[in-house]
């Protein structure tokens, strides 16, 4: 026979399972966002994985404190060294991806052309000091 106590425990287990399923989906979104970011910067995501690090109360764009998930991952530039990184999410929305300092090559050397400030201001009229 199903009692009220048994029904409560069953509902509690169902809610816990739904919460775990939802968290797995959020981790997959974080992984996809990190993959995109690493490919854009020409980095290699190691282990093809992000790992949950912690929950944190962080300020959002409006300055309100919200519960955020912080995931950690590792990437490499040369294939020899591992560098850590983190991604912070408010729900399904990625807020920030932080990468540890890493060595990189400048693909296009900066030009040696000197531009006069007055010329630059004329070309960019909307900028005013």
> CA separation (Å) from 128 to 26, 117, 119, 120, 123?
43, 12, 13, 11, 12
CB 46 within 8 A of CB 75: yes
The structure's pTM equals 0.69
pLDDT of residue 111: 67
Q: What is the pLDDT along the chain (129 residues), one digit of tens a residue?
A: 788 899 999 999 999 888 888 777 888 999 999 999 999 998 999 988 999 999 999 988 888 999 999 999 999 998 888 999 999 999 888 889 999 998 877 776 666 677 788 888 888 776 555
pLDDT of residue 129: 52
- Measured in Å, how far apart are the chain's first and last C-alpha atoms? 78
pLDDT of residue 118: 84
Task: Count the Cβ atoms, other than its own, within 10 Å of residue 111.
Answer: 7
55 Cβ contact partners less than 8 Å away, ≥ 6 residues apart: 67, 68, 69, 70
pLDDT of residue 105: 72
């Amino acid at each position: 026979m199903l009692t009220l106590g048994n029904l409560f425990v069953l509902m509690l287990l169902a809610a816990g399972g739904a919460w775990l399923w939802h968290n797995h989906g959020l981790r997959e979104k974080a992984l996809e966002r990190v993959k995109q970011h690493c490919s854009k910067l020409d980095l290699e995501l190691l282990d093809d994985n992000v790992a949950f690090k912690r929950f944190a109360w962080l300020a959002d764009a409006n300055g309100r404190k919200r519960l955020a998930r912080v995931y950690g991952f590792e990437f490499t530039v040369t294939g020899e060294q591992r560098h850590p990184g983190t991604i912070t999410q408010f729900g399904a929305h990625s807020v920030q991806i932080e990468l540890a300092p890493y060595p990189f090559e400048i693909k296009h050397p900066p030009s040696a052309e000197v531009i006069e400030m007055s010329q630059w201001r004329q070309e960019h009229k909307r900028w005013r000091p």
